[in-house]
Structure 1
Amino acid sequence: MPTSLIHHPYTPPADFEAVPPGVFKASSVLFPNVAALRERRWDDKSAYTYGLHGTPTTFTLGARLATLEGARHVLLAPSGLAAITLVDMALLKAGDEVVLPDNVYGPSLSFAAHELVQWDIAHRLYDPMALPSLAAALTPATRLVWLEVPGSVTLEFPDLRALVRCVRERAPQAVIALDNTWGAGLAFNAFELGEEGGVDLTVHALTKYPSGGADVLMGSIACLDDALYQRLAWCHSRSGVGVGMNDVEAVLRGLPSLALRYAAQDAACRRIAAWCCTQKTFVRVLHPALPEAPGHAHWAALCQAAAGLVTVEIDPRFSQTQTDAFVDALRLFRIGWSWGGPVSLAVPYEAAQMRRLPTPYRGTLVRLCIGLESVEDLIADLTQALAVLQSLAGPETL
Structure 2
Amino acid sequence: MKLDPQTALVHAERKAPQYIETVQAPIYRASTIIFKNTSALFDRHWTDDYDYSYGTHGTPTTYTLADNIAQIEGGHYCLLAPSGLSAINLVNSCFLSQGDEVWVADNIYGPNMEHLQDLAKRYGVIVKVYNALDVDSFQPSDKCKLLWLEAAGSVSLEFPDLVQLVKKAQALNILTALDNTWGAGLAFSPFDFSSEHLKVDISVHALTKYPSGGGDILMGSVVSQDKALHHKLFQTHAIQGISVSGDDVAQVQRSLASMQIRYEQQAKSALTLLAWLKQQKQFAQVLHPADPDAAGHQFWQEVCQTQKSAGLVSVIFNDHYDLTDIRKFCDNLNLFKLGFSWGGPVSLAMLYDLKKMRALDYPHLKQGFLVRFCIGLEEPNDLIQDIENALNKMK
Q: Which residue of the partner structure matches residue 111 of structure 1?
A: 115
2:337 corresponds to 1:331: no
**How far is 1:193 from its partner?**
2.5
Q: Deviations over 1:223-278 (max 9, x none)?
A: 00000001100000000001011110110011000000000000000000110000
Q: How does 1:75-154 map to 2 (within 5 A)?
A: 75-134=79-138, 136=139, 138-154=140-156
Q: How does 1:1-398 map to 2 (within 5 A)?
A: 1-134=5-138, 136=139, 138-169=140-171, 171-172=172-173, 174-194=174-194, 195=196, 197-303=198-304, 304-359=307-362, 360-389=365-394, 392=395
Give, in whole Å, the separation in 1 of the partners of 2:47 and 2:376. 38
Give, in whole Å, the separation in 2 of the partners of 1:13 and 1:41. 30
**How far is 1:196 from its partner?**
5.7
Give, in whole Å, the separation in 2 of the partners of 1:44 and 1:146. 29
Task: Give 3-state SS (helix, strand or coil) of 1:25's partner.
Answer: coil
Q: Deviations over 1:273-294 (max 9, x none)?
A: 1100000111100001111011
Give, in whole Å, the separation in 2 of the partners of 1:43 and 1:202. 20
Task: Give 3-state SS (helix, strand or coil) of 1:146's partner.
Answer: strand
Task: Give 3-state SS (helix, strand or coil) of 1:52's partner.
Answer: coil
Q: Deviations over 1:182-212 (max 9, x none)?
A: 0011000111133262100100000000000
With normalisation by structure 1, the TM-score equals 0.95
Q: Is the 8 A contact 2:51 2:57 kept in 1?
A: no
Q: Deviations over 1:286-333 (max 9, x none)?
A: 001111011111112221111100000000010011111101110000
**How far is 1:36 from its partner?**
1.7
The runs of 5 or more residues in structure 2 that have no matched partner are: none
For 1:314, give the aligned amino acid: F
Give, in whole Å, the separation in 2 of the partners of 1:237 and 1:328. 44
Give, in whole Å, the separation in 1 of the partners of 2:54 and 2:375. 40
**How far is 1:11 from its partner?**
3.6
For 1:331, give the aligned amino acid: N
Aligned residues: 386
**How far is 1:95 from its partner?**
1.3
Give, in whole Å, the separation in 2 of the partners of 1:199 and 1:23. 32
Task: Give 3-state SS (helix, strand or coil) of 2:56's partner.
Answer: helix
Q: Is the 8 A contact 1:201 1:221 kept in 2?
A: yes
Q: Which residue of the partner structure matches residue 396 of structure 1?
A: none
**How far is 1:362 from its partner?**
1.0
Give the share of equivalent positions with the same residue, in percent: 45
Give, in whole Å, the separation in 1 of the partners of 2:119 and 2:169. 25
Give, in whole Å, the separation in 2 of the partners of 1:122 and 1:302. 30
Q: Is the 8 A contact 2:290 2:309 kept in 1?
A: yes
With normalisation by structure 2, the TM-score equals 0.96
Task: Give 3-state SS (helix, strand or coil) of 1:272's partner.
Answer: helix
**How far is 1:115 from its partner?**
3.0
RMSD: 1.1
Higher share of residues assigned helix: 1
Give, in whole Å, the separation in 2 of the partners of 1:287 and 1:297. 12
Q: Is the 8 A contact 2:316 2:370 kept in 1?
A: yes
Q: Is the 8 A contact 2:284 2:366 kept in 1?
A: no
Q: Deviations over 1:109-130 (max 9, x none)?
A: 0011113431111110000101
Q: Which runs of 4+ in 1 moved over 6 A?
A: none
For 2:61, give the aligned amino acid: T
Give, in whole Å, the separation in 2 of the partners of 1:198 and 1:291. 25
Give, in whole Å, the separation in 1 of the partners of 2:176 and 2:314. 27
Task: Give 3-state SS (helix, strand or coil) of 1:115's partner.
Answer: helix
For 2:159, give the aligned amino acid: F
